[in-house]
Amino acid sequence: MQRLSNLVGQIRPSPTAGTASDDGSNKPPMEQGLDMTPELMTTIMQYRQSVDELKDEGIFPSMTIFDLQLATKFELGVASEADANTMIDAAEKSGALEILKKLPGPWDGAKTRAAQVKLLQFMGFGQATGSDIFQFAKWQNEFGKRGLNSNIIVPIILGTGTGTDRGFGVNARVILSDAADSERISRTHVRKEGNFEVALYDGIIATTDNEHWQKQRHHLAEAFMPLSSLAKIMPVSLARAKQCTERLAQSAAGGAVVDMSDFLLHEAQAQLQLALLGAPEKLMNETNEDIRAAFIGDLEHGKVGALGDAMKSLMELAATDQTLALPTDEAAVKGPLSRAVQTSNMSAQTNYGNMLLILFAGHDTTGHTMTWLMFEVARHPEIQIALRKEADAFFKKLDGRDPEYRDLAETDLLDRCVTETLRMWPAVANGTFRQLQYEDTVTGPDGKPVSLPKGTFVNIMNWSRHRNPDLWGPDVDEFNPYRDFKPEELAKVGCSMAGANIQSDRFSPFAHAPRGCLGRNFAQMEMRLILLYLFHRFEFKLAPPYDTLTTAKLGATPDVHEFRGINRATMGPMDLEQSSQKRWGTRHVYAMKMFAREDTQ
């Protein structure tokens, strides 16, 4: 069983141990782990070996962890009752659970071993169903005494290492939501938790080595410089934004319903590959759908190994294309991020981890943000009309010429809508995961400081802070782009403020500096272009069954079965029509059905 546990832990992108019932009721948890067929075992063993080959010999693997999850139909990563028990025994022995006494949390309510096992499984269930952030908010209210300001602590199954070095055990994670603590800790403790290494190796977002992180950040940053890099690749971005209106016109012709989540994720992946990676249109078209199906974990359309193949093609492009250029190359900037991978003198696993991260985080986040924005403005027709007027005025002022990077500074309402969307529906709702570099204090339940030891795992949450009425006012769950944002919170493009990370103590959609999002300027540019062209040409309405959400109140603590964000690394809108039943509950993917009517006036 331990061998099996190690295998299971090896493939987890983050711990998913859930077997609890998905309504949180007292149905008995699963006694045994998944039945391991010989075929499944072989697939996993081959995957493990390929990870070792990447690390040791620089050979790119045939599968990524996302392919493996498709291959195993998301049924691995389930800790049986027996495994959970064994891990709790070990953690008790090592003293790893002592820290759970430092702050309030659901462990306080788990008085028996059976309840503790169930809680561990419930934590995994939250990740598997993409509902963890809502459960944390509920626990903050239940155990924390300071509502959504509360810092709480939860038990976790923590996986560490990659390939044959993979292991896992029970530990604890502080869920940080006090605004001042969140900003201070994320600015000063830049060391990551290590929970992304299983999927992204020692790449920029995953590495726990601060020096290695700094080196990568320094090297990759040139690709994202607003004026010297992004403004130069904007024509590619612009051409695609124009083209996407034609694609939408065809899909929506005759009043057909369009899944705007799928449409916008496709466009974000296209933008990423064409503009930032310098990929040819043919490669983008051939790989777009397969890449997204694997990342989303779409069991219906996903093809095992397709993401691995696409990664090989993109790594090959980065290694061989002599036309790629960064601003300092003194040639026309082309595919600056692929060029940055080409000129990196880092290991194969670092480069591979970065390419995989960029393919994922570089499109999912932006696609979801645009989809949530569409959803909210479809629910607020008066805002949609104002946005269209702004888009029309934008193009009128251009008087027939193409927009340039600096023109994007002129979209005040769109800036506010993007900012409000990032607040209400943060694509990275979990924020960031850190490990304290030295002993530090955070605010306890009675407002007094609580000391946390060096090495404590901390999750600096976006969801609870962005939905906290004490920080935003009583209309916190309303989409209100006109709200009183602080100047440092408002997203800007095309001007001197474009390079600044939008952040405050209550707001960190891109995480706080210095380890904030590196791709945010590209995201802001492509979102402006796509949305300006779409609102200029189309009027959007929610289609059934999403039209039932027009006046729905969508708060911080929805039930697992209600419409909500599906939060699996990034948060997109729940598919109301399709889901699959797993041993641990209902697994939804993403969708947002809309009508897009051409505005003929």
Write out the residues near ligand HEM by the rule CB under 6 A.
204-205, 217, 272, 276, 357-358, 361-362, 365-366, 369, 427-428, 432-433, 509-511, 515, 517-520, 522-523
Q: How far is the CB of 196 from ligand HEM (least distance, A)?
A: 7
The sign one gets for the Cα dihedral 560, 564, 569, 572 is positive
On the 0-12 / 13-18 / 19+ scale of CB atoms within 10 A, 521 is buried
Q: How far is the CB of 373 from ligand HEM (least distance, A)?
A: 10
Q: Closer to ligand HEM by CB, 99 or 511: give it.
A: 511
Q: Closer to ligand HEM by CB, 287 or 366: give it.
A: 366
Q: What is the strand order of the sheet 585-590 is part of?
A: 565-568, 570-582, 585-590
Q: Closer to ligand HEM by CB, 432 or 443: give it.
A: 432
Q: How far is the CB of 491 from ligand HEM (least distance, A)?
A: 9
Q: How far is the CB of 551 from ligand HEM (least distance, A)?
A: 27
Q: What is the DSSP string of 112-145?
A: SHHHHHHHHHHHHHHHHTT-HHHHHHHHHHHH-S
Q: Are 450 and 443 in contact (CB under 8 A)?
A: yes
Backbone phi, psi, residue 171, to 5°? -145, -165
Residue with tokens 């390939």: 163
Q: Are 115 and 195 in contact (CB under 8 A)?
A: no
Largest pairwise CA distance in the chain: 72
Q: How far is the CB of 171 from ligand HEM (least distance, A)?
A: 18
User: Helix, strand, or coil here: 586?
Assistant: strand
What's the CA gap between 196 and 159, in Å, rounded?
A: 9
Q: How far is the CB of 517 from ligand HEM (least distance, A)?
A: 3
Peptide bond into 558 cis (omega under 30): no
Q: Closer to ligand HEM by CB, 229 or 365: give it.
A: 365
Q: Closer to ligand HEM by CB, 204 or 589: give it.
A: 204
Which residue lies nearest ligand HEM, judged by its C-beta? 519
What's the CA gap between 16 and 277, in Å, rounded?
A: 32
Nearest to 7 by CA among 76, 62, 56, 54: 76
Q: Cβ neighbours of residue 343 under 8 Å, at least 6 residues apart?
A: 219, 326
Buried b (16+ CB within 10 A) or exposed e, 78-96: bbbbebbbbbbeebeeeeb
Q: How far is the CB of 277 from ligand HEM (least distance, A)?
A: 9
On the 0-12 / 13-18 / 19+ scale of CB atoms within 10 A, 516 is middle
Q: Closer to ligand HEM by CB, 395 or 433: give it.
A: 433
Cβ-based neighbour number of residue 246 at 10 Å:
10
Q: Closer to ligand HEM by CB, 204 or 258: give it.
A: 204
Q: Closer to ligand HEM by CB, 88 or 517: give it.
A: 517
Q: How far is the CB of 42 from ligand HEM (least distance, A)?
A: 33
C-alpha pair distances (Å), 373 with each of 165, 262, 314, 449, 507: 42, 14, 30, 38, 17
Q: Closer to ligand HEM by CB, 318 or 357: give it.
A: 357
Q: Closer to ligand HEM by CB, 509 or 558: give it.
A: 509
Buried b (16+ CB within 10 A) or exposed e, 301-316: ebebbbbbbbbeebbe
The angle that helices 260-271 and 281-296 make with each other, rounded to 10 degrees, is: 130
Q: How far is the CB of 362 from ligand HEM (least distance, A)?
A: 3
Q: Closer to ligand HEM by CB, 20 or 174: give it.
A: 174
Backbone phi, psi, residue 596, to 5°? -120, 105
Q: How far is the CB of 185 from ligand HEM (least distance, A)?
A: 12
Q: How far is the CB of 347 from ligand HEM (least distance, A)?
A: 17
User: Helix, strand, or coil here: 314?
Assistant: helix
Residue with tokens 């290694």: 319
Q: How far is the CB of 366 from ligand HEM (least distance, A)?
A: 4
Q: How far is the CB of 458 from ligand HEM (least distance, A)?
A: 11
What's the CA gap between 369 and 271, in Å, rounded?
A: 15
Q: Closer to ligand HEM by CB, 22 or 420: give it.
A: 420
Q: Closer to ligand HEM by CB, 434 or 564: give it.
A: 434
Q: Closer to ligand HEM by CB, 162 or 462: give it.
A: 462
Q: Are 413 and 390 in contact (CB under 8 A)?
A: yes
324 Cα distance to chain centroid: 28
Q: How far is the CB of 341 from ligand HEM (least distance, A)?
A: 12
